[in-house]
Amino acid sequence: MIVLADEPKKNVRELAAQILRKVEAQKAYADLLLDQALKTQALNDPDRALLTELVYGALRWRGKIDARLNPYLRQPMADIDPVIKNLLRVAFYQLLFLDKIPDYAAVNEAVTSAKTHGGAKAAGFTNAVLRNFLRQKDRGDDLNETDDSAAALAAAYSHPEWLVTRWLDEFGLEAAKSLMQANNQKAPLILRINTLKTTREEYLQRLSNAGISASATSRSPQGVCVESAGAVEKFPGFAEGFFQVQGAASQLVGYLLSPLPGERILDACAAPGGKSTHIAELMNDEGELVAIDNSPRGVDKIRDNATRLDLKSLRILCADASKELNDAIARPYDRILVDAPCSGFGTLRGHPEIKWHRNESDIQRLSRLQSKILHRVAGYLKPGGVLVYATCTLMGEENEEVVDAFLAQQKSFELEDAPRYLPREAQDMVRGKVFLALPHRDNTDGFFAARIRKIP
């Protein structure tokens, strides 16, 4: 674990640069490092908000920032001290994207932090780069955003070039641009209302009474979009289990599974428990829902969520769905959900670091794992039972290709029409027979799901 508590207090820009350094060097998740920093650093509310803005903003726009920064460097970016490099990225993010922070303040803070970290030489280098850029800034963006080549789009929309190339092939030019633009927006905070305890209308009124601005989501019948900031744990009804944080597209997977009270259901890759707890609610907390995950920490998180939501039907165990299950949980199931480990390219609004961490070899590796899990758990499904395969990515190798290969080998399974099982509000979120959520079209995370039935 990365410990920040014993480090000397830093200014917000330096702290942001340190977090970005760790995200880059260790392929760490920004939200975990941010949460740790916010808990251990003595920051007031404006500084907490600024730290969050700087970290996520610099990650979302790192490709464009680096393209603007590179011409002012006399050495390859890889050769620059990692903290200084990220101080420059933070400063460029402020200069390019944040109108409320004066240019001189962004430069002065960066230079001061550089001096603290690396002495006078580092401060001089940082100052020279930023001052040289400011002399050219008023001339406008020096990136050619009329160039529709993959390389130019990668810089303009801040995505890796290999990913741009794939999405141009998958979606076409205009849709790919819209998708990348949507990926660079802030992810909304979405709650799923626990309808065993309250209704969406009642909870919206509770939020309003507490001075929290929120509205019903347009795609999920249980979703609430919270528009005002604040710690989720302080929302009314959190401790009582009135809601669970879960994206709108993720909520729709539970409807696609369409569980019934009294059934025996397996959630094969369940952590952190958003879909498991939703399934339990949809089956009126009646029956047996076996939620497994191969991460002990993930299993603990499922238990925490189930306990807070007061759900009794969950049986939560640590187990690896890619391997043979033990006799205690290997009995036949009415329904199985495989929310498979995936590359996560549908979640870039909330996890922008993923686009810099993942590569094409990860997609191939994950595709093999997904197929292994799908074939393994299919053997535990009753004749006539339903299996839903889902991911939060937009990669065909992890989505349709996994399902097509499975169906080609498993002749006793057939693909069903997703729209028949989705809520009315979401029945157009499909491609052919499968569920497909797109950030630029649906204002949700990118999600894929296929509903497969075992022929009796």
Q: How far apart are CA 160 and CA 85, in angstroms?
A: 19
Reduced to 3 states (helix: H, G, I; strand: E, B; else coil), residue 75 is coil
Which value, in Å, is the radius of gyration of the alpha carbons in the chain?
A: 24
Q: How far apart are CA 98 and CA 137, in angstroms?
A: 14
Q: How far apart are CA 368 and CA 443, in angstroms?
A: 30
- Closest among 337, 324, 453, 317 to 391, alpha carbons compared: 337
Q: Tell me the DSSP string of 100-155.
A: TS-HHHHHHHHHHHHHHHHHHHHHHHHHHHHHHHHHHHTT---S-TT--SHHHHHH
E-only strand ranges, 250-380:
264-267, 288-293, 314-318, 333-339
For 292, other C-beta atoms within 10 Å of its C-beta total 24
Instruction: Name, in order, each residue with C-beta under 8 angstroms of 104's C-beta and a sequence gap of 6 or more.
Output: none
Which amino acid, residue 286?
Answer: E
Known catalytic residues are 392
Q: What does the block give as tokens for 103?
A: 């240019």
Count of residues for the chain?
456
**Does the N-terminal peptide bond of residue 383 adopt cis geometry, omega within 30 degrees of 0?**
no
Instruction: Name the packing angle between helices 82-97 and 103-137 (round to 10°).
Output: 80
